[in-house]
A = this chain, B = another copy of it.
Amino acid sequence: MEPAGPLNVGSVARLCANFGVQELRLVSPRCDPTNSEARRMAVHGIALLEQAKEFSCLLDAVADCHRVVASCGRSDHGDIPLQSPEQALPWLLNSIGSEPVALVFGREDRGLTNNELQLAQRVITLHSSSSYPSLNLSHAVAVVLHELQRCKLQQQLNNEQSASPDPASPRQLDAYLTDAQTLLLEVGFLLEHTAQARMAKVRGLLQRAAVRPQEVALLRGMVRQLRWAIHSRHS
């Protein structure tokens, strides 16, 4: 949004290349975005710089974007809620497919206005020091693009981990707990008035472990055999 420094524009083009960003869009730049300073900073991001589209207002620039995250320094953002990059960027990533998404950065001197911030669905602020929170524009872009990439890798890792065994179904777990409760009432470990509270503790333990179907089957087998042992000796 209205960048004034060609060094910054060139640096941002390089960063786009560094982090696989496909397109750079400029809203009313206050400098020549392809002058020699900008080109020098772009290095291998030069193609992105040369192909950067210009727009006359932010709304036009993000018109085709399904998710938009804006970046904000820390002062006078009014009631606009700020999130950390690690809170908002996974949400941006979840939209990635064929639909474009946007990251919006403000002017070097004044950032984005509150009206502009409100065009975005989420607004992030960086973890900089409260005594001097304002980063140079291109350095803020570096931080956010790297964080986006880190979140992407983290999501891939989480997806692999969530391929771990599914936990037991609520029905299976409940059937086991009911069965166990009946036995424990029978042997006098539970009393009618304490049964619910004590079994809730067992339920909490099994929930925390994300107990698996075959484990519930194992536990249920124990209950069955214990019941058999008690009854067979009784008869």
Q: Which residues of A contact B (CB under 8 A)?
A: 7, 11, 14-15, 17-20, 41, 43-45, 84-86, 126-129, 131-136, 138-140, 142-143, 146-147, 149-150, 153, 183-184, 186-189, 198, 201-202, 205-206, 208-211, 215, 218, 221-222, 225-226, 228-230, 233-234
Q: Which residue on B lies nearest to A154, using beta carbons?
A: B86
* Closest B residue by C-beta to A14: B136
Residue of B nearest to A41 (CB): B136
Report the separation of the CA atoms of residues A150 and B87 in the bound assembly, to the nearest whole angstrom. 12
- Among B139, B187, B233, contact of A15 (Cβ-Cβ < 8 Å): B139
Residues from chain B with a CB closer than 8 A to the CB of A17 are 129, 131-132
B residues within 8 A CB of A146?
126-128, 143, 146-147
* A129 adjacent to B218 (CB under 8 Å): no
Contact between A210 and B211, CB atoms less than 8 A apart: no
Which of the residues B7, B19, B226, B233 comes within 8 Å of A226, measured between beta carbons?
Answer: B226
Q: How far is the CB of A137 from chain B (nearest CB, A)?
A: 11
User: Which DSSP category, helix, strand, loop or mixed, fits chain A's interface?
Assistant: helix
A-B contact pairs, 23 of them (CB 8 A): A11-B139, A14-B136, A15-B139, A18-B132, A20-B129, A20-B131, A41-B136, A126-B146, A127-B149, A127-B150, A128-B146, A128-B149, A135-B142, A139-B142, A140-B142, A147-B147, A147-B150, A186-B229, A187-B229, A189-B222, A189-B226, A202-B218, A209-B209
Q: Select which of B14, B202, B230 is within 8 A of A229 by beta carbon.
A: B230
- Contact among B43, B143, B230 for A230, CB-based, below 8 A: B230
Q: Are B18 and A129 in contact (CB under 8 A)?
A: yes
| Residues in chain B near residue A184, CB distance under 8 A | 222, 225
Complex Cα gap A135–B145 (Å): 12
**Which of B209, B229, B233 is close to A206, meaning CB atoms less than 8 Å apart?**
B209
CA–CA, A143 and B186, complex, Å: 62
Chain B positions within 8 Å of A129 at CB level = 17-20
A11 neighbours in B (Cβ, 8 Å): 136, 139
